Amino acid sequence: MTETDVAIIGGGINGGSTGLELAKNGLNVTIIDKNFICRGASGVNAGTLTMHMTRAQLIPYAKKGWELWMNTSEWLSKEIDVEKKNGLCLAFTEDEEKLLIERSKIRKYYGADISIISIKEAQRIDPNINSSIKCAAFCEMDGYVSANQTGNAYSKALKENKVKILENYDVSKIDYHKNKYVIIFKNGEKLTASSIILATGVNLEKTLKLLQINIKIKCLPQQLIVSERMPKIMDTVITVANGKLSLKQFKNGTVLIGGGWPGIGNIEDNYTETKPENLIGNMMLACHAIPRLKSSRVARVWLGLEAETDDAMPIIGEIPNYENAYVIGSIHSGYTSGPYMGKLLAEKILGKDIDLSLFDIKRFL
């Protein structure tokens, strides 16, 4: 049996960011993942960094997360592709225009620097958007991360800060005795920890049950599409007022199409399947936003499993009835906010006066 100060179950962006901050402050940290670091949702995500798709109450956290992503060389790695881009959210109908104006107003109230601009102004920013839009919301605080690079970046940074990483370790039981946690793995090995953090994404409902905590975590199997390489057709991150599109073009010419069109999937069987009618709907909406995309072809389709609570707000903070037990997960637009949310939880664990009451798990108990 081995020992550690802090055991983090789940090695995605949430668990990795928390563990990295704790290790930099002198704690002995072990991160456990049933697969590989950032190879779940964190590794197959669209990687969009945006205020347009972030829930209004989370804007202050998303802004801090965005700033961290723009300075990864200072806290994570130089070996990860992060692009700062302008963001445009498009409205095509009068109803969408009203919706976009209202949502932008609310997000601006919470601190997002979003402005409503005319068709002409939007086309000056990105000439290839559909000329039939009613208006657009503009924000300079946008961009993307190449999600397939996050695993290597986090793994290297964690090891450089002496974090022990246990990959392909599946947790079967957690015993709590005399303020210590004994984590028992399916292979029979054990790990003792003074503190424990659950950061298991869509598996959070199952993991919390190991501590007799019962809450519902939805599993959303989101489809993603990437095009073949093509000449430059856009230089912004595009979203739409109805919230069902995210669109960006990478340096290599491929265009990533996402936005939450669901496929079929469940965590019990680790099963995912595409839903053709939703793929077609997503592609049609993307081509409507950027008409030049019609000349391209689909290169690949895949699914990522997204976690969501009943109120679509994160759960971050202490787990009731246990000493030194914490949870972090279900962060809406989690790629944008994830690093900062992890940093906040780490600061809370380190004894700083951090208010996480907005994300308290007790609201579900």
CA 141 vs. chain centroid, Å, equals 16
pLDDT at 281 over 90: yes
Q: What is the CATH number of the domain that holds 183?
A: 3.50.50.60
pLDDT band at 46 (very low <50, low <70, confident <90, very high): confident
Same domain, residue pair 243 and 299: yes
Structural domain includes residue 222? yes
Within this chain, do residues 197 and 227 fall inside the same structural domain, yes or no? no
Q: Do 294 and 202 sit in the same domain of this protein?
A: no
Query: How much of the chain, in percent, has pLDDT values that exceed 90?
Result: 87
136-145 residues labelled b (16+ CB within 10 A) or e (exposed): bbbbebbbbb
- In this prediction, residues 244-255 reach a mean pLDDT of 94
Q: What is the pLDDT of residue 332?
A: 78
Compute CA distances 140 → 125, 127, 199, whole Å.
11, 17, 31
Beta-bridge mates of residue 185:
171
pLDDT at 351: 97
29 within a domain of the structure (yes/no): yes
For residue 154, pLDDT over 80 is answered with yes
Q: Give 130-144 pLDDT, tens digit per residue.
A: 999 999 999 999 999
Q: How far is CA 197 from CA 59, 168, 244, 272, in A?
A: 24, 18, 32, 27
- Would 69 be classed as within a structural domain? no
Rama region for 10: left / alpha / beta (φ>0; ψ in -120 to 50; rest) = left
Given the structure tokens 């793929």, which residue do they identify?
279
Asked whether the predicted pLDDT for residue 176 surpasses 90, the reply is yes
Compute CA distances 57 → 54, 295, 335, whole Å.
8, 39, 16
Please report, as a single letter, which amino acid is at residue 216.
K
Q: Which domain holds residue 122?
A: 85-141+218-308
33 burial type by CB count under 10 A (0-12 exposed, 13-18 middle, 19+ buried)? buried
252 and 161 both lie in a single domain: no
Residues 280 and 249 in one domain: yes
The set of residues, in sequence order, having a beta carbon less than 8 Å from that of 192 and lying 6+ positions away, is 1, 2, 3, 4, 180, 181, 182, 183
Hey, is 175 helix, strand or coil? strand
Q: Tally the domains of the chain.
A: 2
- What pLDDT sits at residue 79? 86
Would you place residue 21 in the very low, low, confident or very high pLDDT band (cuts 50, 70, 90)? very high
User: Does residue 163 share a domain with residue 24?
Assistant: yes
How much is the pTM? 0.95
- Specify the pLDDT at position 148: 87
The tens digit of pLDDT for each residue in 66-102 reads: 999 999 999 999 889 999 999 999 999 999 999 999 9
User: How high is the pLDDT of residue 325?
Assistant: 98
Q: Does residue 304 or residue 324 have the better pLDDT?
A: 324
Indicate whether 1 pLDDT > 80. no
Residues 343 and 251 in one domain: no
Asked if 224 and 274 sit in the same domain, the reply is: yes
Query: Quick one: pLDDT at residue 267?
Result: 82
Residue 113: inside a domain: yes
In a domain, 124, yes or no: yes
Phi and psi dihedrals of 14, rounded to 5?
-65, -55
- Verify that 301 and 321 share a domain, yes or no: no
Residues 224 and 131 both lie in one domain? yes
The pLDDT of residue 314 is: 97
Domain boundary among 264, 289, 308: 308
Q: Is residue 275 part of a domain?
A: yes
Considering 308, 333, 352, which residue would you say is the last residue of a domain?
A: 308
Nearest alpha-carbon partner for 363 in 316, 329, 307, 321: 316
pLDDT at 213 over 90: yes
Identify the pLDDT of residue 271.
82
Does 175 lie in the same domain as 211? yes
Q: According to the model, what pLDDT value does residue 99 have?
A: 96
Q: What is the CATH number of the domain that holds 299?
A: 3.30.9.10
Handedness of CA 228, 41, 238, 65 (dihedral sign): negative
Average pLDDT over residues 221-242: 95
Six-digit token string for 170: 């599946």
- Average pLDDT of the chain? 95
**Quick one: 224 and 293 in the same domain?**
yes
